[in-house]
Structure 1
């Protein structure tokens, strides 16, 4: 770069916040004291559609488009979040990945268990509870329970937390195993899978616990009033704060609603105006899901949100349409609480 400019003083750099690639370059250029504009890819895509007639997309063309947008366009710069907020976003997104992995493993475990001991689930209300998982680590098929000896039972119980509860369940499973129609063909291959799945589940769940502890520690340092809003616990708070970043980026609640993708699409041409517009679903899907979850909880527990939800239902709105309206109200509340940095108060 020194070949083209003598100093960086008057140099401005634009980049898209795409994936994870931009952050390393951003921190490097920031260390050089350079002026940097971080743009949302949606903005550059909109600029492309307004300036490009032909459908062309290469790295060189994208670079020129970004440069032109900075020179001539009316763009909104993406603000880099504080270190704690960025940590919340990273940790909450990774927690989401782990919970999805846990769900995948549970589905696989159920699939295997349905083949080797389909009657097993009738004994437990939750087959992934602590005692059930402890049992499955020792006895993974109907044959294991059917042929269990008193010595094997005693040795296994020594490693269980709730010994009497586990012994009662194992005895019931042993009776069921004698009449089970679980497969016996290639049984070892299935039991190995099941044990490994349970081991992975235990490991992932311990990681999730560790992440949640770290998230709560960061939230304690931030001391945000967002946790006073109904339906927003530590996990939802971490996701929402991490995805929003600096609330001052959103001058109005409507802009936060749009960023969460909770706004309605607009379809109009001449005298035609669509009356059945769908949710745009632009912006952050993590933020949208967290706000939806918060709105659902609040619509059942908080008088104000519940009354608003029921009002929409009384107007003939479908459950999800009413919930979407409640989620937009949740956005407005979040914006007000964060902008004014004041706790949520229930209005009589």
Structure 2
């Protein structure tokens, strides 16, 4: 691991960036300044840091994941080959301990201190390839369209309960709107398939994941997006933790025996998709069906067994990706 001399903490908002520079040898704030959150402001940030005598080879930039507002800074660091670390906001917040008051400057300082104190956890970040960025935006649009279609379809509930001449005023327009939205959804889904088809690596991963029984196109796409083409998570267990399906022990001393359970902090979309995959797998996959029925006969809770199936599906996904070969159903060869 590189021994960084300078730690730059950056608090990100929509319009501006609060930048705090710390020297590892003297952790008092060496410099604080504010720049705009755009290309001009980022160039000014680099110029001001250079005037402070910073060696970018020995500097670590650390900032929170604030969604799209983080993207310009991430791209700037990536293009200039700066080492940078994007940390979940909740992790920094919980690492602060008891604190009073709040300001953008103090937040930037806390982020810089986090990068010093938790350097053993360092996982350098990178910008996902363009195809994954496109898939992420299109997947979000796809989900919004599906929700909107469901909302507009609720208008039909008025039929039979509202006077026909009253319902008639909205019926035709509602039908046209739904038709337009469904057509837009098909276009977005086709665009996603086209992007995957044009990227050989993503196409291969997509086909490998779909070879697993119970896993469909939507789940395969989301796994590629969430893992950035399986570059982020090094093991199935870590991905299971991220998805909120990995069980953890809850006990303390002799009085608290909470057993094991999953944590509420999770990627809810991935968790929901995995639930649907598990329900499909226990119907159509002979091995998982036998496992599911056996555990139920042993008196295990239905949801606990389904969660185990979700974990098994994640394990299978990692296996086919690491092995670079489709899933093989060995259960059918059992005598």
- Is the TM value for this pair above 0.5? yes
> Which structure has the highest strand share of the two?
2
> Normalized against structure 1, the TM-score is what?
0.72
Stretch moving more, 257-266 or 274-283: 274-283
Matched, 1:45 2:90: no
Is the 8 Å Cα contact of residues 261 and 283 (structure 1) preserved in structure 2? yes
Match of 2:316 among 330, 333, 338: 333
> Residue 113 of structure 1: which of 159, 164, 189 is its match?
159
User: Matched residues in 1 for 2:251 and 2:235: separation?
Assistant: 24
Tell me how far apart the structure 2 counterparts of residues 276 and 192 of structure 1 sit (CA, whole Å): 58
Partner of 1:75: 121
Higher relative contact order (CA 8 A, sep 6+): 1
- The list of structure 1 runs, each at least 4 consecutive aligned residues, that deviate by more than 6 angstroms after superposition, is none
Q: What SS class does the counterpart of residue 121 from structure 2 fall into?
A: coil
- Indicate the larger mover: 202-211 or 80-89: 80-89
Instruction: Please tell me whether residue 212 in structure 1 is matched to residue 192 in structure 2.
Output: no
C-alpha separation between the residues in 1 aligned to 2:258 and 2:150?
Answer: 38
TM-score (normalised: structure 2):
0.74
Give the superposition deviation at 1:56. 4.7
Q: Which runs of 5+ in 1 are unaligned?
A: 117-182
The offset of 1:81, in angstroms, is: 2.6
Evaluate the alpha carbon distance shift between residue 14 and residue 98 of structure 1 in structure 2; reply closer, same or farther with a 3 A threshold: same
| Alignment match of 2:110 (pick from 65, 68, 75) | 65
Q: How many angstroms apart in 2 are the aligned matches of 1:256 and 1:56?
A: 35
For the 8 Å contact 1:79–1:249, the answer to whether it is kept is no
2:234 and 2:67 map into 1 onto residues whose CA distance is 26
Residues 92, 111 of structure 2: 8 Å contact kept:
yes
CA deviations on 1:168-197 (whole Å, 9 max, x unpaired) are: xxxxxxxxxxxxxxx26xx44x32323222
Contact 1:14 1:39 survives alignment (8 Å): yes
Q: Which has the larger radius of gyration?
A: 1
Q: Which position in structure 2 is the counterpart of 1:311?
A: 294
Instruction: Please report how far the alpha carbon of residue 57 of structure 1 lies from its aligned counterpart in structure 2 after TM superposition.
Output: 4.4
In structure 2, the residue corresponding to 1:247 is in which secondary structure?
coil
> Structure 2: 5+ residue runs without aligned partners?
1-44
Question: 1:246: how far off?
Answer: 4.2
Q: 1:270 aligns with which of 253, 265, 269?
A: 253
- Are 2:149 and 2:181, in contact at CA under 8 Å, matched by a contact in 1? yes
Q: Deviations over 1:306-327 (max 9, x none)?
A: 1222222222233322211111
Using the alignment, how far apart are the partners of 2:126 and 2:284 within structure 1? 34
Q: Is the 8 A contact 1:231 1:297 kept in 2?
A: yes
How many Å separate the matches in 2 of 1:216 and 1:239?
12
Distance 1:320 1:55, change over 3 A: farther
Give the RMSD, CA atoms, in angstroms.
Answer: 2.3
- Write out aligned runs for 1:1-348 (5 A): 1=45, 2-6=47-51, 9-10=56-57, 11-48=59-96, 52-54=97-99, 56-73=101-118, 74-77=120-123, 78-107=125-154, 109-116=155-162, 183=163, 187-188=165-166, 190-220=167-197, 221=199, 222=202, 223-224=204-205, 225-348=208-331
Separation in 2, partners of 1:250, 1:113: 50
- 8 A contact 1:93–1:239 mirrored in 2: no
- Give the deviation of 1:67 after TM superposition: 0.9
Cα deviation for residue 95 of structure 1 reads: 1.1
CA gap of 1:76–1:285, structure 2 versus 1, over 3 A, is farther
Pick closer, same or farther for the CA change 1:76–1:250 going to 2, 3 Å.
farther
